[in-house]
Amino acid sequence: MFRLASSWVWDFWIADDGEQYHLFFLKASRALLDPNRRHFRASIGHATSTDLITWTEQADAVVAGDSPAFDDLATWTGSVVQGDDGRWRMFYTGVSRADGGLSQRISSVVSDDLFSWHREPDAQVLEPDSRWYETAESREWPDQAWRDPWVFRGERGWHMLITARANHGDPDDRGVIGHATSTDLTHWTIEPPLSNPGAGFGQVEVLQTALVDGRAVGIFSCLAPELAQRRSDQDPVGGIWAFAADSLVGPFSLEDAYRLTDERLYVGTLVQDRAGQWQLLAFENYDGEGGFVGSIIDPLPVTWADGRLEVDLTVNRAHSR
């Protein structure tokens, strides 16, 4: 388990350099006392491991930018990839003081070694295209949802999956998989969403697609209060969700998404260990009494059963579906 005495730890993503796993995570001081205050105090921490179990904390990776900037209030969830030039690029979410954190935006920082990260003055800042997505002006949601970029190399270049909301449909049921493409990791084009609204989710957080044992699958997270009413009426439990995929780049159907864990665990990330076994990592969200925990669990093996991804929760008996 990865736990910090001084800070809560929650959303995270992993980069693998072939020798070490690099864990990047949101953190905020426990001195805030109320964990609900952590979001607008978040920075991006860093830890390393050779086995996904024992982690060594490193210097923080990214903190809020100097004002005025799109990320001068807080830095949120992202992903890391290595470009053709060998440099690493971290895509992440930023919120600004100018609008009180209302509008989420996406940009990037670069590194040669995964330890020291640098902002580029001309780095593109991505915002939702109002042709397809809710914006701060058109939203029927507490904020402009445009965050959690998951970047990977796919068909015809680089792809970015984004937590977003469509600009039409029932207000509580507009969660979609946003999409952007690039040929060079620097210049991005906003594309139409890769899923349709009406799947039963107000938002789909921290998306990831992966080839697990040769089969494409996607995962995301959604809490119970953010389920659409019609899905909540059937099963009012949130958590980590999985969905079938024909490819890593979609299009995707979320109507048949199924829950992997309840929301005591959140932000599931699929990663392959050195033995080739696929594992799920997640952060401890709620304890048995509903209090926030803020630490990252040890890996849980995942397998396929009857065409669905399953998590071996017996490895960590403190948690159940």
238-266 tens-digit pLDDT = 999 999 999 999 999 999 999 999 999 99
- Summarize pLDDT for 139-187 with one digit per residue, the tens: 999 999 999 999 999 988 999 999 999 999 999 999 999 999 999 999 9
CATH class of 7-315: mainly beta
Q: Closest by alpha carbon to 315, among 2, 1, 24? A: 1
Euclidean distance between CA atoms 159 and 179, whole angstroms: 7
Q: Are 200 and 228 in contact (CB under 8 A)?
A: yes
Q: Compute φ and ψ for 30, nearest 5 degrees.
A: -70, -10
Euclidean distance between CA atoms 146 and 177, whole angstroms: 10
SS3 226: helix
pTM confidence score: 0.96
- Summarize pLDDT for 196-205 with one digit per residue, the tens: 999 999 999 9
